[in-house]
A and B are shown apart, each in its own frame.
Chain A
């Protein structure tokens, strides 16, 4: 009843080709965007911004990037954190070398730089497949982090190898550094995430996105029908790394403000983002957001609930929170093995008839 596609007739091609052809979807997106843009300022303070919403947006962007590679093109990657590091260090070098550069441009250039590096480490994917491909991205993970930790040029010869984001502006307002307003930082991230999510949604349904999915579903068959694997795989690596690199620049510049390579970009970070993608739903834009929400917001909610509401000790709450998240992952899988995004789809199907079952 609430989610009925029937009766929505299109009278021209433009309507039929819209990103969200169904009116309910369109309205849903408008409502979410409205909430994100208009309601968020009402609750925004330093905690909500710096600890919850900004990280959530940045993780969504990075998960979206990884989802292109893993979910749409079927190439497993365990080197996400290293690609984030490429974005971060690129942005750091750009920010310190060209102080006048607008941060928006820094983010985009960092993304492009990461895309190049990503393509390089994507080359072995032309020969190695499946789980074995993980080794290429793992090599990227360990090698790149080692490089950033070792070569002093990357951290401007500071004594310890820590990098700190100086204050830089985007469209006249500061977005990095300690005195940037949290609300402006939030809007900055939100705009980038919304634009990239819409662009991605478009890309994956276009020719190139369809070639990724053909490769994912069966690469030999795809080759036979004329999809060039070199082109498809490398473009997936490039596009995915582009988003991850932009995410990395925001991660370091806007959110953390300082980073050290071994800790901020360790392999556990790579795993965390892979988990976001799988739990959210492989091959789903919505899934990237749901996965990021599940693995970033849920632990915080659980922790705050146990520590502040129940008054449990911090160590016990932390352990309990880990157990609960783990148990929830298993339960979700048993209920619906294809990720949170699939749950949402099932819900939509239910809504089609509800409350009249026939």
Chain B
């Protein structure tokens, strides 16, 4: 009986929820699957704030996108796939209907890939998610600009080559989060190890990764020339400290972009000096967009997290802005392609496939020199990619980009992507579409 009571209470709530959203005017509805709680909150908060602030700024400054208001709906996932599913079902019909999803979690991405494909809503994963989704012929609604983990792996190897010359006979250790996310680069690195003759050492670290003594003892014993890290959450901070304790040369310790946030290096203090991470966007708040965000959002007191004002421009925050720019530009494209003010998710997909943000365009958007051009197409859902290396300066407490933005080695990843997407297509009875 209590069971039906609970249902009854929930039913009342459901009615109450449905009522206010029913009769409002069209808004560009963008659900944001945030995580401000749980073990990965320190990484999730800056990203979510960047995404929210960018659209908030567009609303305040320009009255939305081409005059249509944007409604960003926050839903808390706690980096938990079950809550991710709940959030997806809750928000997909909210407001005027969800246009684009961005989960910032590889686990939730895998969960959503079949669902968004069935519901025809684009899923944009900025530098995370499933690498083979680059193949737009198979993954019609999944986008992974501007870089995938496999791209990251190739650039990491390239960077090592740039510094040390030929890698033949050298040793590279990969310290990775023992999950789908952390395992992503393994195949690419294995392929490259064969190709370039270096030895690869795999060192998994289980969630959450507070105790990594054994991992770093192995690094001490085997003395790899480079350590690459695919870490997230507390694992990053501990790894950076351990590396400095065993006096591993920090400039030979290179993390993926998600291991390169301020919150990863700050707790390690001076020990983190010289640590490197990959990046697909510039850091800092010296861009016109940040000035606009401060002026139109924080000074008006309408930010989602007002206490964050002093921290805008952090690495993950800027990635939130990056995501915001891609989505807003895609919506603009969708509006002009289909000549409508009220695009549907499928039209936004077309907008994403027509995305062409050149360097001039970035400057025009107030982000001159923020990153390289982003160009997507029907067949190529990652598009042009540019990745740089950033290095932490512990005394100034800031990241510095130390290399140019370079393109990843597509010749390494292309066959892997073709194989993986073909396997997915076969498993799920997908006939690759024609992109001409």
Tell me, yes or no, whether A and B come into direct contact in the complex with CB atoms closer than 8 A.
Answer: yes
In this complex, the interface size class of chain A, counting residues with CB under 8 Å from chain B, is: 35 or more
Pick from B37, B111, B118: contact of A319, CB below 8 A.
B37
Q: Which of B289-319 contact A (CB under 8 A)?
A: 304-305
Determine whether the beta carbon of B114 is less than 8 Å from that of A314: no
Pick from B10, B118, B178, B181: contact of A52, CB below 8 A.
B10
Q: Which of A51, A177, A290 counts the most B-chain CB atoms under 10 A from its CB? A: A51
* B13 on the A face (CB < 8 A): yes
Nearest CB of chain B from residue A345's CB, rounded to whole Å: 12
Determine whether the beta carbon of B111 is less than 8 Å from that of A257: yes
Determine whether the beta carbon of A160 is less than 8 Å from that of B184: yes
Nearest CB of chain A from residue B345's CB, rounded to whole Å: 15
* B131 on the A face (CB < 8 A): yes
- Give chain A residues whose Cβ lies under 8 Å from the Cβ of B132: 159
- Give chain A residues whose Cβ lies under 8 Å from the Cβ of B37: 315, 318-319
* B1 on the A face (CB < 8 A): yes
Q: Which of A96, A260, A263 counts the most B-chain CB atoms under 10 A from its CB? A: A263
- Give chain B residues whose Cβ lies under 8 Å from the Cβ of A318: 36-37, 76, 78
* B286 on the A face (CB < 8 A): no
Q: How many residues belonging to B are interface residues under a CB distance threshold of 8 Å?
A: 60
Alpha-carbon gap, A317 to B9, bound state (A)? 19
Determine whether the beta carbon of A315 is less than 8 Å from that of B76: yes
Name B1's closest neighbour in chain A (CB-CB).
Answer: A28
Among listed B84-92, B158-166, B167-175, B388-396, interface-contacting one? B84-92
Alpha-carbon gap, A85 to B416, bound state (A)? 29
- Give chain A residues whose Cβ lies under 8 Å from the Cβ of B305: 313
* A162 on the B face (CB < 8 A): yes
- Give chain A residues whose Cβ lies under 8 Å from the Cβ of B118: 178-179
Alpha-carbon gap, A50 to B85, bound state (A)? 8
Determine whether the beta carbon of A260 is less than 8 Å from that of B114: no
- Give chain B residues whose Cβ lies under 8 Å from the Cβ of A258: 81, 110-111, 113-114
Judged by DSSP, the binding face of A is helix
Q: Which of A52, A177, A258 counts the most B-chain CB atoms under 10 A from its CB? A: A258
- Give chain A residues whose Cβ lies under 8 Å from the Cβ of B2: 290, 293, 340, 344
Given contacts A290-B2, A340-B2, contact A314 B178 (CB under 8 A): no
Among listed A76-84, A203-211, A304-312, interface-contacting one? A304-312
Determine whether the beta carbon of A314 is less than 8 Å from that of B76: yes
* A334 on the B face (CB < 8 A): no
Determine whether the beta carbon of B184 is less than 8 Å from that of A166: no
Nearest CB of chain B from residue A239's CB, rounded to whole Å: 23
Determine whether the beta carbon of B82 is less than 8 Å from that of A43: no
Determine whether the beta carbon of B3 is less than 8 Å from that of A289: yes
Pick from A167, A293, A304: contact of B3, CB below 8 A.
A293
Given contacts A256-B82, A301-B13, A315-B37, contact A32 B4 (CB under 8 A): yes
Complex interface bits, B59-83 against A, C-beta within 8 A gives 1, otherwise 0: 0000000000000001110101110
* A121 on the B face (CB < 8 A): no
Determine whether the beta carbon of B86 is less than 8 Å from that of A317: no
Pick from B16, B179, B420, B427: contact of A262, CB below 8 A.
B179
Nearest CB of chain A from residue B231's CB, rounded to whole Å: 14
Alpha-carbon gap, A203 to B37, bound state (A)? 42
Alpha-carbon gap, A344 to B207, bound state (A)? 40
Determine whether the beta carbon of B3 is less than 8 Å from that of A290: yes
Q: Which of B394-436 contact A (CB under 8 A)?
A: 416, 420, 423, 427-429
Q: Which of A47, A48, A266, A305 counts the most B-chain CB atoms under 10 A from its CB? A: A47
Alpha-carbon gap, A171 to B427, bound state (A)? 22
Pick from B74, B93, B115: contact of A178, CB below 8 A.
B115
Q: Which of A31, A43, A51, A314 counts the most B-chain CB atoms under 10 A from its CB? A: A314
* B25 on the A face (CB < 8 A): no
Pick from B11, B81, B113, B420: contact of A256, CB below 8 A.
B81
Q: Which of B1, B3, B107, B427 counts the most A-chain CB atoms under 10 A from its CB? A: B3
- Give chain B residues whose Cβ lies under 8 Å from the Cβ of A303: 76
Nearest 7 A/B pairs, CB to CB = A315-B36, A178-B118, A178-B114, A160-B180, A314-B76, A51-B86, A47-B89
Q: List 11 A-B contacts (CB under 8 A).
A: A51-B85, A160-B130, A160-B183, A160-B184, A164-B110, A262-B207, A300-B86, A301-B9, A305-B13, A308-B16, A318-B78
Residues of A within 8 A of B (CB): 28, 31-32, 35, 43, 46-48, 50-52, 55, 96, 149, 158-162, 164, 166-167, 177-179, 255-260, 262-264, 266, 289-290, 293, 297-298, 300-301, 303-305, 308-309, 313-315, 317-319, 340, 344
